[in-house]
């Protein structure tokens, strides 16, 4: 069975790219042609099309050529490392954009614009939790469980509320110091004692 071959123009159109983009990828060595015709035209096989789809996906999530080259040649753990680093970078970029939104709202002196920005601040988040029936003790329990289940996401969420870094550190330290239901059996005396009042961090969400 003969394997289908694509000219550079046909392959480019099939994935929504330009011919010049594919020529560039060939020039830098990340997508060489599978074959050459008798007239020396570039021809690409199915493996090249699959590779091009991967390149397009990686470009779509903001990876650079150096990272893409490493991913195309990577195996297993190396792939996870590169993509995790990009995810961390995106989280940082999102946090910076949220902070810029809050600063603009402050400059405009109009808190109602937070809705337009689709952002929450600490005060609005506490209002939502209160409206849902959570008292102060339940809010602190929420932090304990969040820290136990997803510590990095807990950090990201607190940053997204615009809480100062020292207060975030205090919240997370306090949360780690208290037992979570994730690691404690329901019948454990330690679990029963955890309901007792204890000192809360000054930078909590209340």
**Residue range of the domain that includes 194:** 120-206
Question: DSSP letter at 7?
Answer: E
| Among 45, 82, 81, 49, CA closest to 65 | 82
Q: State residue 194's pLDDT score.
A: 42
Structure tokens that stand for 76 in this block = 């297993």
Task: Give the CATH number of the domain where residue 17 resides.
Answer: 1.10.1660.10
Residue 188 lies in a domain: yes
Residues 125 and 197 in one domain: yes
Alpha-carbon distance 172 to 169, whole Å?
5
In this predicted structure, what is the pLDDT of residue 46?
93
What are the CA-CA distances from residue 97 to residues 30, 84, 159 (Å)?
Answer: 32, 20, 11
Q: How does pLDDT run along the chain (206 residues), one tens digit per residue?
A: 557 899 999 999 999 999 999 999 999 999 999 999 999 999 999 999 999 999 999 999 999 999 999 999 876 678 888 888 998 888 888 878 877 877 787 787 776 666 666 566 788 788 888 888 888 888 888 898 889 998 888 888 888 787 888 889 999 999 999 887 765 544 444 444 444 444 555 445 55
Specify if 136 maps to a domain.
yes
Structural domain contains residue 114: no
In-domain check, residue 100: no
Q: Domain tally for the chain?
A: 2
State the burial class of residue 26 (Cβ atoms within 10 Å of its Cβ: 0-12, 13-18, 19+).
middle
The verdict on residue 93 lying in a domain is no
Q: Are both 125 and 204 inside the same structural domain?
A: yes
Give the pLDDT of residue 182. 63
User: How far apart are alpha carbons 23 and 32 in whole angstroms?
Assistant: 9
Which long-range contacts link 134-140 to residues 24+ away (Cβ below 8 Å)? 136/200, 136/206, 137/195, 137/197, 139/204, 139/205, 139/206, 140/174, 140/175, 140/178, 140/200, 140/204
**Which of 36, 54, 73 is a domain's end point?**
73
CA dist 149 and 157 (Å) reads 13
- Dist. CA 169–CA 77, nearest whole Å: 31
């Amino acid at each position: 069975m003969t394997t289908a071959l694509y000219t550079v123009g046909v392959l480019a159109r099939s994935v929504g790219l330009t011919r010049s983009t594919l020529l560039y990828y060939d020039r830098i060595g990340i997508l060489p042609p599978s074959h050459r015709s008798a007239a020396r035209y570039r021809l690409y096989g199915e493996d090249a099309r699959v590779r091009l789809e991967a390149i397009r996906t990686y470009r779509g999530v903001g990876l650079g050529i150096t990272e893409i080259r490493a991913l195309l040649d990577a195996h297993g753990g190396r792939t996870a490392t590169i993509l995790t680093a990009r995810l961390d970078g995106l989280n940082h970029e999102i946090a910076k954009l949220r902070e810029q939104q809050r600063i603009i709202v402050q400059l405009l002196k109009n808190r109602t614009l937070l809705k337009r920005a689709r952002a929450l601040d600490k005060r609005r988040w506490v209002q939502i939790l209160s409206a849902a029936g959570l008292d102060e003790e339940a809010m602190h329990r929420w932090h304990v469980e969040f820290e136990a289940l997803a510590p990095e996401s807990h950090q990201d969420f607190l940053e997204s509320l615009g809480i100062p870094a020292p207060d975030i550190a205090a919240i997370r330290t306090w949360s780690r110091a208290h037992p979570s239901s994730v690691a404690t059996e329901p019948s454990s005396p330690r679990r029963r004692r955890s309901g007792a009042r204890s000192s809360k961090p000054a930078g909590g969400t209340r």
